[in-house]
Structure 1
Amino acid sequence: MTETTSAPQGSATSPGKCPVSQFAAEFNPFDEEYLQDPYAVFTRARNEEPVFYSPEIGYWVVSRYDDVVAIFRDTESYSATAAGELIKPPCPAAMEKLAAVDFVPSTMLVDEDAPLHTKRRRVLRKGVTDDRVAEIEPITRRFVGDCLDAMIKTGNADMVADMTFQVPALTAFVLMGVPEAEVERARGYASRFALWIWGRPTDEQQVELAGEFAAYLEYAREHVERLIENPGDDYMSNAIKAWQKAGNDDVWDKTYLASIMQSHLYASHETTTNATANGFKVLLENRDQWELLCNDSSLIPNAVEEILRYASSVPAWRRVTTRPVTIGGFDIAAGERILVLTGSANHDDAVFDDGDRFDITRENADEHVAFGWGIHLCLGQALARMEMRVMLEETTKRLPHLILVEGQEWTYSPNTSFRGPERVLVQWDPAQNPVPEDRP
């Protein structure tokens, strides 16, 4: 039996899933109160029941930093294969939508284990090296500038629709080798997969989402075929070149290449959209931190880390046990699903002093687990950091007087693993724009 870190205070080893405490019985990551403020639940979990079984979702829930890191580190005992499982199986009508495009289920890097994961990751990481990200940065900065140009004289905007959704999508398509003329078409597919995989959509929503998924799959296949005929020097072309090498048939096929196109667009787009939207929200709610950032741009890289820590865009991830384990003093059988609360780990006072406080000067902000840990550490973390940094650099320079619209309603997609406000409404006085060309 594998043992994972320390036992919870005041708890004995559990012989099974029963009895369940009232707190565990009431845990529901789809509940509106949780969606609005999961951190209140996280704090209570760390303090009272750092490991518990949730009958509502059928998962063991783990909340403390040391336990979370130990699970990510122990890839022999905790498999990644549960990461991409649909929380709710597709209804028959949704399956018909997928069958119409000959959909074949395929894994992604996030739900693969070694050694296959290692082989594929070794090739794919070449497309998101620091040098490659540096090459893309001027393009990203142009995208951000275009977004600001479109809104700067209006005095109001939705930072999600007008910037944080657009910039990561456009950058991702450049990375994937999508021709600029097709970016607008392809961008329409880049949304809502979190609800499909990690949520509990209604049957009607599932049918709609399956239709969107099928349309994007067809586009991905079309794009892969085009790059097979004429590969470039982009992320997808590198994967195709690896597929074409002799002896790689056990690692690559066309189905997997299309899966890369789909999953990596989502991974590089949705998470950064949410992370930056969270960033604008929390910075503008903590005005002293926003003004500190506007007055000293050298703080922006660390502010990015603190945003990722404090307002995680991926507050939970999933694993499945491959053998009996002990987590925090609880014996858990093989084949059990684990919900790993990364957002809770990032607020753990045992690691982050006063973890519920937002502080862009925090010295150890980068010890967060927002990008995961170990062999599944986010492949595109350098890209995400660059995009967030550039959006903050350009916005603080041109709109330092930005404020949140008072009384706005905050809404979040009801799913376990991706979190960011669907809108961030802001306003400012264009006459006070610091750049003369930006004034009406």
Structure 2
Amino acid sequence: MAADLQQRIRWLALHGVIRGLSKVAVRRGQDPQARLIADPAVRADPAAFADELRGRGPVIRCRAVLMTVDHQVVNEILRSDDFRVSSLGAGLPKPLQWINRKTHPGLLHPIEPPSLLSIEPPDHTRCRKLVSSVFTTRAVAALRERVQQTANDLLDDLERESGVVDIVERYCSQLPVAVISDILGVPERDRRHILHFGELGAPSLDIGLSWRQYTQVHEGLVGFNEWLGGHMDELRRNPGDDLMSQLIQASQAADEGSRLTDRELQATAGLVLAAGFETTVNLLGNGIRMLLETPGHLETLAARPELWPNAVEEILRLDSPVQMSARFARRDVTVGGTEIKRGELVILHLAGANRDPEVFTDPHRFDIERDNAGRHLSFSGGRHFCLGAALARAEGEVGLRTFFERYPDARLAGQGSRRDTRVLRGWSTLPITLGTARAALGS
């Protein structure tokens, strides 16, 4: 009972108060921050919301934060030493921050230190350097072969199906789970746990969660933290050839000042799951949906498969799996003609920046031959540029190309449903009629 009460209090501090105030603000006016949290129309159509904001200038001052959808401003802030990353609850009023600290359950969280997403140099430099020594170009290339084999196997299984399948459940989620499991050294028997934890934890990046969402996220974090502790101990006793075993060994062999603590190692594993699973599920689901709605692009890709990498960049630009990020000002600074005071929080609407007409001609059009599609900011930028960007691109390219080569007659079989998240954007269900399968290339 006491634990449940503590979680209720924590939910109120982190989410409940902000959620309630945002709902009131949405009814009374047009505060962009409140709409971002509590307006279902914004979740349904974030592009229209970004266009509204764009007309109000490069930087918009909301009731409690600043916000920008301007590509140049977002790009500048991501790369600027005048700003630092945020963490869960850091932008709350002081009394709510105090409650957050007092009720903290001690669980690892993807946007709390020591996660790479929430730390700055020198700790960030030390951690990222060691992680980068393992997540090399060569390692990603080897994982690409695993992505291809897994995609082939999953599509082989789908050949036994007739009628309608949920492609998110049967393919888009299964492919990245296999890759993440390979990275973390997860045995086959435990992979269903990884899938379950990833699905429960998807809303963990959002603010203003409902009590139901919060309890699901908490369940996922508890389960993953408990499983991870035992798994890391096993990797230390019996290391494999997976990247997490290599990271543990690299840390043990490093100079004392360069090593990762046990908590930092676990936080890295948690980030691999949080950043590498749900985002890739969304990339695959978004891509399949967009391409099925534009059969002319599929015909072009069938005739010119060399366009697949650029098609993935355009999918990342137009329907970004990660919609936004945030930064605190370290000092008084002027950006985009707006004075930002030390300690003020700026919401960076990545998805809006990716549709900036000053950078992308006809920005709402899906164009797989767009020559600057790769200028999107979906992987963030600067020192916090996504470590897994190359792997995500490989999973997107291989996963989408292989699906449409095997099932060129696939068709949408219903509207599907979007995930109930705001920072992450993707499909939770996507019904597909597969049609007749072609033989796998090389078989």
Equivalent residues in 2 for 1:364-379, closer than 5 Å? 364-379=372-387
Stretch moving more, 381-390 or 141-150:
141-150
How has the CA–CA distance of structure 1 residues 203 and 92 changed in structure 2, closer, same or farther, with 3 Å as cutoff?
farther
Deviation by residue 1:30-78 (Cα, 9 ceiling, x = unmatched)? 42211111001112222333311233xx32111111000100110x211
How has the CA–CA distance of structure 1 residues 144 and 102 changed in structure 2, closer, same or farther, with 3 Å as cutoff?
closer
Cα deviation for residue 119 of structure 1 reads: 1.4
- Tell me the SS of whatever aligns to 1:422: strand
Would the aligned equivalents of 2:297 and 2:368 in 1 still touch at CA under 8 Å?
yes
How has the CA–CA distance of structure 1 residues 202 and 322 changed in structure 2, closer, same or farther, with 3 Å as cutoff?
same
Task: Identify which of 108, 114, 118 aligns with 2:115.
Answer: 108
Equivalent residues in 2 for 1:271-282, closer than 5 Å? 271-282=279-290
Equivalent residues in 2 for 1:49-198, closer than 5 Å? 49-55=57-63, 58-74=64-80, 76-80=81-85, 82-85=86-89, 98=105, 106-152=113-159, 153-198=161-206
Task: Identify which of 407, 412, 417 aligns with 2:419.
Answer: 412
Q: 2 CA distance for matches of 1:177 and 1:166?
A: 16
Q: 2 CA distance for matches of 1:436 and 1:350?
A: 42
In structure 2, the gaps of 5 or more residues are: 1-27
Q: 2 CA distance for matches of 1:73 and 1:136?
A: 29
Equivalent residues in 2 for 1:143-292, closer than 5 Å? 143-152=150-159, 153-245=161-253, 247-248=255-256, 251-292=259-300
Counterpart residue type for residue 71 of structure 1: I
Moved over 6 A (4+): 86-97, 101-105
Please, what is the CA RMSD of the aligned residues?
Answer: 3.0
Q: 2 CA distance for matches of 1:196 and 1:30?
A: 16
- Hey, which of these two has a bigger chunk of helix by percent? 2
Q: 1 CA distance for matches of 2:88 and 2:383?
A: 16
Q: 2 CA distance for matches of 1:94 and 1:229?
A: 34
Equivalent residues in 2 for 1:269-418, closer than 5 Å? 269-406=277-414, 408-415=415-422, 417-418=423-424
Cα deviation for residue 269 of structure 1 reads: 0.7
- Tell me the SS of whatever aligns to 2:147: helix
Residue in structure 2 matched with residue 12 of structure 1 by the alignment: none
Counterpart residue type for residue 72 of structure 2: D
- What TM-score, normalized by structure 2, do the two folds share? 0.84
Number of paired residues? 409
Would the aligned equivalents of 1:174 and 1:180 in 2 still touch at CA under 8 Å?
no
Equivalent residues in 2 for 1:13-28, closer than 5 Å? 22=30, 24=32, 27-28=35-36
Q: 2 CA distance for matches of 1:26 and 1:435?
A: 51
In structure 1, the gaps of 5 or more residues are: 1-19
Q: 1 CA distance for matches of 2:117 and 2:108?
A: 23
Cα deviation for residue 204 of structure 1 reads: 3.9
Counterpart residue type for residue 352 of structure 1: F
Stretch moving more, 217-226 or 421-430:
421-430
Counterpart residue type for residue 290 of structure 1: L
Q: 2 CA distance for matches of 1:212 and 1:312?
A: 24
How has the CA–CA distance of structure 1 residues 188 and 26 changed in structure 2, closer, same or farther, with 3 Å as cutoff?
closer
1:422 aligned to 2:425?
no
How has the CA–CA distance of structure 1 residues 97 and 73 changed in structure 2, closer, same or farther, with 3 Å as cutoff?
closer
Stretch moving more, 21-30 or 317-326:
21-30
Give the share of equivalent positions with the same residue, in percent.
28
- Tell me the SS of whatever aligns to 1:98: coil
- Tell me the SS of whatever aligns to 1:189: helix
Counterpart residue type for residue 377 of structure 2: V
Stretch moving more, 246-255 or 339-348:
246-255
Cα deviation for residue 233 of structure 1 reads: 3.4
Counterpart residue type for residue 248 of structure 2: I
Deviation by residue 1:180-224 (Cα, 9 ceiling, x = unmatched)? 343233332222323123242223432332122111101111111
Would the aligned equivalents of 1:124 and 1:235 in 2 still touch at CA under 8 Å?
no
Cα deviation for residue 250 of structure 1 reads: 6.7
How has the CA–CA distance of structure 1 residues 429 and 231 changed in structure 2, closer, same or farther, with 3 Å as cutoff?
closer
- Tell me the SS of whatever aligns to 2:398: helix
Residue in structure 2 matched with residue 47 of structure 1 by the alignment: 55
